[in-house]
């Protein structure tokens, strides 16, 4: 995949289906078109979303839209065996056997109505994953043209090293935001930069809009002052704060609201001053930086 054609903001589809807004086919088409018109051409999936239904619903909407395949980038993930109506597993567990990875890729291709996946990720690390087996099947799928780029999601530095031993890793999708800023000190993002591994951020707005806790109460007055300075919204500032990091973080936004999708792209234009960036970090932590 030509990374230069990938949008800086990624649209996460987890909430499009049964796990969220339960959008109709027409509403999904509208949302796909809205993202593309706004400049967001990359869509983040996982096989388990909507209890293994959202990929298929998105694929049907994409096919109905008539949009050319080369106009969008598709990300999907596999590995979690998630108990739900369509998959009545006794427990939640992980499977990174070559058989399951191939099945997952083939099934995602069918669901998404496509011949290839732009970026394929292992969803979460498993204690039982075998790096040699994973590398062998991923190499085969890449050679077959079914996946273009391979990456990971929620992997620590040692876990990345384990997988990277036998195959190139180009992405790691992790949770990072102003309200969940451990990523700044746990070493993962620093290691990824040394190995040219791109960082995607899930839940980039963190808990700020989800709960009124002490972190929210400390951040809110700082955000209000900066909203006046930068003439923007609070969610745009939270994205701009994250994108200020030199790792060139790619936020995966989960909104299904068209106005917020459009607003998120404007956040790219905000070049936050260092003192403002650190004032938000100080508010989040509740103390001066060390």
Contacts of 261 (CB under 8 A, 6+ apart): 11, 31, 34, 35, 38, 40, 253, 255
Q: How far apart are CA 52 and CA 42, in angstroms?
A: 20
Q: Write the pLDDT tens digit of every residue in 69-109.
A: 999 999 999 999 999 999 999 999 999 999 999 999 999 99
In a domain, 140, yes or no: yes
In a domain, 30, yes or no: yes
> Is the per-residue pLDDT at 4 higher than 70?
no
Of 14, 90, 98, whose CA–CA distance to 52 is shortest?
A: 14
In a domain, 176, yes or no: yes
Query: pTM of the full predicted structure?
Result: 0.96
Q: Write the pLDDT tens digit of every residue in 167-209.
A: 999 999 999 999 999 999 999 999 999 999 999 999 999 999 9
Element (H, E) at 42: strand 42-44
Q: What are the b/e assignments for 115-132, b being 16+ CB within 10 Å?
A: ebbbbbbbbbbbeebebe
- Phi, psi for 53 (deg, rounded to 5): -125, -25
Q: How far apart are CA 88 and CA 94, in angstroms?
A: 14
Counting the structural domains of the chain, the total is 1
- Phi, psi for 182 (deg, rounded to 5): -60, -25
CATH code, domain with 158: 3.20.20.100
**Token code pair at residue 189:** 């993002």
> Is the per-residue pLDDT at 218 higher than 60?
yes
In a domain, 250, yes or no: yes
HSE-up of 84 (CA within 13 Å, CB side)?
Answer: 13
Q: How far apart are CA 4 and CA 254, in angstroms?
A: 22
Q: Write the pLDDT tens digit of every residue in 219-256.
A: 999 999 999 999 999 999 999 999 999 999 999 999 99
In a domain, 218, yes or no: no
In a domain, 104, yes or no: yes
**Catalytic site positions:** 49
Q: Which domain holds residue 110?
A: 3-211+238-271
In a domain, 225, yes or no: no
Confidence bin at 1 (pLDDT 50/70/90): very low
Q: Are 101 and 78 in contact (CB under 8 A)?
A: yes
Residues making up the chain, counted from first to last: 290
Give the gyration radius of the chain's Cα atoms: 19
């Amino acid at each position: 995949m030509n990374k230069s054609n990938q949008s800086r903001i990624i649209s996460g589809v987890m909430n499009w289906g049964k796990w969220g807004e339960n959008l109709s086919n027409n509403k999904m088409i509208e949302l796909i078109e809205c993202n593309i018109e706004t400049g967001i051409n990359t869509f983040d999936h996982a096989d388990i979303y909507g209890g293994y239904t959202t990929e298929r619903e998105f694929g049907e909407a994409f096919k109905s839209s008539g949009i050319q395949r080369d106009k969008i980038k598709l990300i999907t993930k596999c590995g979690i065996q998630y108990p739900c109506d369509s998959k009545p597993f006794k427990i939640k567990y992980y499977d990174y056997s070559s058989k399951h990875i191939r099945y997952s890729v083939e099934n995602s291709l069918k669901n998404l109505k496509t011949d290839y996946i732009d970026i394929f990720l292992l969803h979460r690390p498993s204690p039982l994953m075998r790096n040699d087996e994973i590398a062998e099947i991923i190499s085969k799928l890449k050679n077959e043209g079914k996946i273009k780029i391979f990456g990971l999601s929620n992997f620590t530095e040692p876990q990345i090293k384990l997988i990277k031993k036998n195959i190139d890793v180009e992405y790691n999708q992790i949770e990072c935001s102003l309200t969940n800023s451990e990523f700044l000190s746990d070493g993962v993002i620093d290691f990824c930069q040394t190995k040219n591994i791109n960082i995607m951020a899930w839940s980039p707005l963190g808990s700020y809009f989800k709960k009124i806790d002490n972190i929210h109460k400390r951040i809110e007055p700082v955000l209000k002052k900066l909203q006046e300075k930068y003439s923007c919204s609070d969610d745009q500032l939270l994205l701009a704060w994250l994108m200020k990091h030199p790792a060139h973080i790619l936020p995966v936004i989960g909104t299904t609201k068209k106005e917020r999708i459009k607003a998120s792209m404007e956040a790219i234009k905000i070049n936050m001053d260092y003192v403002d960036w650190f004032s938000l970090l100080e508010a989040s932590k509740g103390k001066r930086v060390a």
